[in-house]
Amino acid sequence: MRTLIRDVRVFDGHRVVPRADVLIDGALIAEPGGRCDVEVDGRCRTLLPGLIDGHTHAFDGSLAQALAAGVTTELDMFCLPGNLARQRELAASRDDVADLRSAGLLATAPGGHPSQLLASIGDELGDAARPFETVADVAAARAFVAARVAEGVDYLKVVIDDGAVHGVDLPVLAPEVVEALVDAAHGHGLKVIAHAITAKEVGIAVDAGVDGLAHVWCDAGDDLVGWVAQRGVFVVSTLVYFESISGPTATVDHAAHGSFEHAVHAARVLHEAGVPIVAGTDANPWAPRHGVAMHRELALLTAAGLTPPEALAAATSVPAVHFGLTDRGRVEPGLRADLLLVDGDPTTDITATASVAAVWRRGVRSARP
């Protein structure tokens, strides 16, 4: 199947092309020319790379929700083995759901975050909330990482969270254990992303040599920005997550310390310092919701000072670079035809990303935008 999208504005992942023709040939983007089987009118529309959500938690139904909203790849940050096997099989075998990369089991202290959350919601998640392996000390770190490598994870997630933001007191990985996990993961060629949501926790993560942060922090910490920038650490934003747990509809008092306003400020100062920002939502089965939350995240990123093209890059080319997704994240011949067509111009009005006209994954047009 060859599909020609004609006379369309293109955001290619880096820049805006006011008018172009884009050809989908099978699963790939191709140079326009020759026959086409289907033509799509691109006038008054914008073609983007399929959106990449840099922080999710995938459960049954999540990947279909994501694709319908234009998110063609989810980067899962914690998934227990049985659930992960199901989601991977789904993503590999079907094109009506988003693609998936995952950290598999995250590394946390015995009884550490998110054990307390799974204990409270386990009945709702069934086998997806069973007890999981944790890391007690430095001696256990290397074996934990080796087990994740054997399971084929795409990166390692490490949790540094003493529970203060959740209003509880939780066991937390010691700095030397974090360092041992980072060293072991790097030895296997894995990037390490840290869950650290206070300035103190971020300092431990960056000192240990992590590659990325799974959240901005949500308390005062401007003095950290230079250190994060100097170490070349990227940051996943998750502003919509902080908004969801701080607002009047929040069902759990996660925001006992820290605030949504601090999180937006952190995103602003990190961006101003040149720290790479990856758009992510922390989507889960409740809130934020898979797919649709990304449109809100992009709006919040512009509120934090990113221009609309910068926000779009944060959800396309930037995560592709930092998570090694060399076959996507840009509109370019030879890359996967993971594409999002929207009505209007999100390069000037970011809210236009929610006006989904069509979604393609591996060149297959979704029937449910």
CA–CA gap between residue 359 and residue 133 (Å, rounded): 38
What pLDDT, in 10s, does the model give residues 241-295? 999 988 644 433 444 446 899 999 999 999 999 999 999 999 999 999 999 999 9
**Tokens 């040939």 identify what position?**
25
Question: For residues 340 and 359, is the Cβ–Cβ distance under 8 A?
Answer: yes
pLDDT for res 254: 43
pLDDT for res 115: 85
Binned at pLDDT 50, 70 and 90, residue 123 comes out as low
pLDDT for res 255: 42
pLDDT for res 127: 55
Tokens of 235: 């940051």
What pLDDT, in 10s, does the model give residues 68-101? 999 999 999 999 999 999 999 999 999 999 999 9
Residue 275 CA, chain-centre distance (Å), reads 16
Reported pTM: 0.95
pLDDT for res 218: 93
pLDDT for res 121: 62
Q: Which of 300, 366, 274, 329 is nearest to 49 (CA)?
A: 329
Average pLDDT, the chain: 93
Binned at pLDDT 50, 70 and 90, residue 132 comes out as confident
Residue 254 CA, chain-centre distance (Å), reads 21
pLDDT for res 256: 45
Give percent of the chain with pLDDT exceeding 90. Answer: 88
What pLDDT, in 10s, does the model give residues 311-327? 999 999 999 999 999 99
Angle (CA) 287-290-291 rounded to 5° is 130
pLDDT for res 252: 39
Q: What are phi and psi of 49, to 5 degrees?
A: -60, 150
Domains of the chain: 1-49+330-369 (2.30.40.10), 51-327 (3.20.20.140)
Relative to beta strand 339-343, strand 45-49 is antiparallel
What pLDDT, in 10s, does the model give residues 140-176? 999 999 999 999 999 999 999 999 887 889 999 999 9
What pLDDT, in 10s, does the model give residues 36-69? 999 999 999 999 999 999 999 999 999 999 999 9
C-alpha torsion sign, points 66, 68, 69, 72? positive
pLDDT for res 247: 61
Binned at pLDDT 50, 70 and 90, residue 126 comes out as low
pLDDT for res 60: 95
Question: For residues 184 and 138, is the Cβ–Cβ distance under 8 A?
Answer: no
pLDDT for res 368: 66
pLDDT for res 346: 98
Kindly state the helix (H) or strand (E) to which residue 5 belongs, with its residue range: strand 2-11
Q: Is the pLDDT of residue 179 over 50?
A: yes
